[in-house]
């Protein structure tokens, strides 16, 4: 396989992140914004009953749902693309006999599980009006802690699999490492405190629909990124073609 500089992979990762960000923005706008509007309407109705806030928000809701949402999603996706590219620089040639495309796809899948899926299952996203503002810092810290734990446990599972591979074989060692990761994540779920701050009377269906929309956005982001990134990496690291065997002329 031809060598390639980290800068080349970084540029391609950020470009793939940009494309994935556009796809995620479309899904967020089509699926998520209606759920946000419904939650805001419930929040405003409750505020009107309790007390009047008076002042209008500094940024209009229409601007938040378009330019604000698009900017945030694109910046987030480009940053993730750069991180994935750096992880790929380390992973190439170190996680088995996989080509560049397969390695990029595996890295993307692993990042989706560790950075998005595992934290989401413990601390799922909530719509506006759900959650006590006084505990926002605590909830954010718990979520970031879950991401850090998930990444560390994934790294530990990978090291365990590599150590066991000479004795158990690659497949069996991978299965053992995966099971160890699942068990460690389950233990983390049990030890970390839960968060349940849903107000009384808040529609459970809206929370469920919002969380599904959030997961759909993240899945779209990572799936699009994985496909585009794998393609760009494969083009950047073209395998060296084996020279054709010379045919000896017959006399």
Average pLDDT, the chain: 83
With contact defined as beta carbons under 8 Å apart, do 198 and 72 qualify? no
pLDDT digits (tens, 9 = 90+) for 190-206: 999 988 877 777 888 88
Residue 236 neighbours by CB under 8 Å, 6+ apart: 4, 8, 9, 12, 100
3-state secondary structure the chain: CCCCCHHHHHHHHHHHHHHHHHHHHHHHHHHHHHHHHHHHHHHHHHHHHHCCCCCCCCCCHHHHHHHHHHHHHHHHHHHHHHHHHHHHHHHCCCCCCCCHHHHHHHHHHHHHHHHHHHHHHHCCCCCCCCCCHHHHHHHHHHHHHHHHHHHHHHHHHHHHHHHHHHHHCHHHHHHHHHHHHHHHHHHHHHHCCCCCCCCCCCCHHHHHHHHHHHHHHHHHHHHHHHHHHHHHHHHHCCCCCCCCCCCCCCC
Q: At 242, is the pLDDT very low, low, confident or very high (cuts 50, 70, 90)?
A: very low
Domain chopping of the chain, boundaries? 1-49+65-130+199-237, 134-197
Instruction: Please report the pLDDT score of residue 6 as a whole number.
Output: 80
Share of the chain above pLDDT 90, in %: 43
- Report which of 70, 43, 4 is spatially closest to residue 133, judged by C-alpha positions: 43
pLDDT digits (tens, 9 = 90+) for 32-59: 888 888 887 877 776 655 544 445 666 6
Instruction: Please report the pLDDT score of residue 199 as a whole number.
Output: 76
Higher pLDDT, 176 or 5: 176
Instruction: Please report the pLDDT score of residue 224 as a whole number.
Output: 95
Instruction: Please report the pLDDT score of residue 214 as a whole number.
Output: 93
Instruction: Please report the pLDDT score of residue 46 as a whole number.
Output: 63
């Amino acid at each position: 396989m031809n060598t390639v500089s980290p800068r080349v992979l970084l540029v391609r990762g950020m470009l793939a992140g940009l494309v994935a960000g556009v796809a995620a923005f479309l899904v967020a706008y089509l699926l998520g914004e209606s759920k946000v509007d419904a939650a805001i309407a419930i929040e405003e109705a409750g505020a009107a009953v309790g007390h009047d806030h008076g002042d209008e928000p500094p940024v209009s809701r229409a601007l938040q749902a378009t330019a604000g949402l698009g900017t945030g999603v694109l910046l987030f996706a480009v940053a993730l693309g750069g991180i994935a590219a750096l992880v790929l620089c380390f992973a190439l040639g170190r996680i088995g006999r996989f080509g560049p495309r397969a390695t990029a796809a595996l890295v993307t899948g692993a990042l989706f599980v560790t950075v998005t899926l595992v934290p989401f299952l413990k601390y799922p996203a909530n719509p506006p009006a759900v959650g006590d503002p006084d505990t926002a810092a605590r909830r954010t810290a718990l979520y970031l802690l879950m991401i850090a734990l998930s990444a560390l446990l994934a790294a530990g599972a990978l090291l365990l699999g590599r150590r066991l591979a000479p004795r158990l074989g690659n497949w069996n060692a991978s299965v053992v490492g995966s099971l160890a990761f699942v068990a460690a994540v389950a233990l983390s779920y049990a030890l970390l405190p839960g968060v349940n701050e849903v107000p009384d009377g808040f529609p459970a269906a809206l929370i469920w629909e919002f969380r599904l929309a959030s997961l759909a956005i993240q899945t779209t982001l990572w799936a699009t990124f994985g496909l585009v990134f794998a393609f760009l990496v494969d083009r950047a690291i073209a395998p060296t073609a084996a020279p054709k065997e010379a045919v000896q002329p017959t006399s």
